[in-house]
Amino acid sequence: MTAETLKADVPAEVVPAAVEVHDVHKWYGAHRVLDGVSLTVRPGEVTVILGPSGSGKSTLLRVINHLEKPEIGHVSVNGEPIGVRRHGGRLREVSERTILSQRSRIGFVFQNFNLFPHLTVLDNVAAAPVATGRLTKPQAQDLARELLGRVGLADKAGAYPRQLSGGQQQRVAIARALALRPGVILFDEPTSALDPELVGEVLAVIKDLATSGTTLVIVTHEVGFAREVADKVVFLDGGRIVEQGPPHEVLDKPRHERTRDFLSKVL
């Protein structure tokens, strides 16, 4: 059998999910921040997470990236459990080194860009593929130039982050996330620290990724953007998923009072 027929014979559900969050509970003392969250993100899908401040959105992204460890439940990325391994049918914790390697396959774009201030734009983008031993420095710099072109910043390669606007810095951060060729990129309110006139250029870059088949999980309050790019919208409140579905259902015909209430405040 050729690879082609093999592929055609494999039902969609056999392809591992890009992200699988399974019944995750996270608490700090008595405070339940995530209270049984389950979520599946298919390869190439764009998932937008909405919810009021304090509802657990950032914590959910941090659990997916294993920056936080859930008290109950687990997360898999591209079919690989994060932070644990199966051993004789039971789950065991893995080494910090393995976690770092797993994390390098998940892109993360923060609200405040978090660029290295002492490195040029080019080296910000090239640093991780070199540090993880995946590329030589010249290879990483070639890739960085290509990715800077993709986010419209080819002419800023030699600049330092402080010389750029917030919108430009965030586009560098997106190029940096792409440099590790991640299976999924997580965005935590990527435009909420920006002046309003700079929001559009960052959303345009994210939209370009969305339409080119990159798997994205985006926390944002930009409901119009969610309607445009999301395959699935998830509404989180009080550490629980209140409802999820395609944007025309969750945003235009929300079934729950809490979703309606939230949307009436942000629209």
Provide the binding-site residues for Mg ion, judged by CB under 5 A: 57-58
Structure tokens at 132: 């993880």
Residue, CB closest to Mg ion: 58
In this chain, which stretch among 6-14, 25-33, 126-134, 155-163 interacts with ligand ADP, using CB under 6 A?
A: 25-33
Of the two residues 53 and 264, which places its CB atom closer to ligand ADP in the complex?
Answer: 53
Residue type (1 letter), 128: A
Among Mg ion, ligand ADP, none, what does residue 116 contact (CB within 5–8 Å per kind)?
none
Residue 259 as a binder of ligand ADP (CB under 6 A): the answer is no
Of the two residues 58 and 215, which places its CB atom closer to Mg ion in the complex?
Answer: 58
Given 33, 194, 202, 229, the residue binding ligand ADP (CB under 6 A) = 33
In the complex, the smallest distance separating the C-beta of residue 59 from Mg ion, rounded to whole angstroms, is 8
Task: Name the H helices within the chain.
Answer: 3-9, 57-64, 96-103, 121-131, 137-150, 166-178, 196-211, 223-229, 247-250, 257-266
Residue with tokens 């899908």, as numbered in its chain: 45
Question: Contact letters (x/-) for ligand ADP, 49-68, by CB under 6 A?
Answer: --x-xxxxxxx---------
Structure tokens at 199: 């929001």
Q: Give the CA distances from residue 234 to residues 116, 183, 241, in Å, rounded to whole numbers and listed in that order.
A: 32, 20, 7
Q: Give the CA distances from residue 173 to residues 106, 138, 179, in Å, rounded to whole numbers and listed in that order.
A: 14, 20, 10
Of the two residues 61 and 82, which places its CB atom closer to Mg ion in the complex?
Answer: 61
Of the two residues 123 and 189, which places its CB atom closer to ligand ADP in the complex?
Answer: 189
Residue 191 as a binder of ligand ADP (CB under 6 A): the answer is no
Torsional sign, CA 174, 175, 178, 180: negative
Among Mg ion, ligand ADP, none, what does residue 92 contact (CB within 5–8 Å per kind)?
none
In the complex, the smallest distance separating the C-beta of residue 154 from Mg ion, rounded to whole angstroms, is 32
Of the two residues 62 and 207, which places its CB atom closer to ligand ADP in the complex?
Answer: 62
Of the two residues 207 and 240, which places its CB atom closer to ligand ADP in the complex?
Answer: 240
Phi and psi dihedrals of 58, rounded to 5? -65, -40
48 alpha carbon, distance to own chain's centre: 10
Q: In terms of Cα–Cα distance, which of 224, 215, 154, 251 is closest to 18?
A: 215
Residue 28 as a binder of ligand ADP (CB under 6 A): the answer is yes
Q: Which residues bind ligand ADP (CB under 6 A)?
A: 28, 31, 33, 51, 53-59
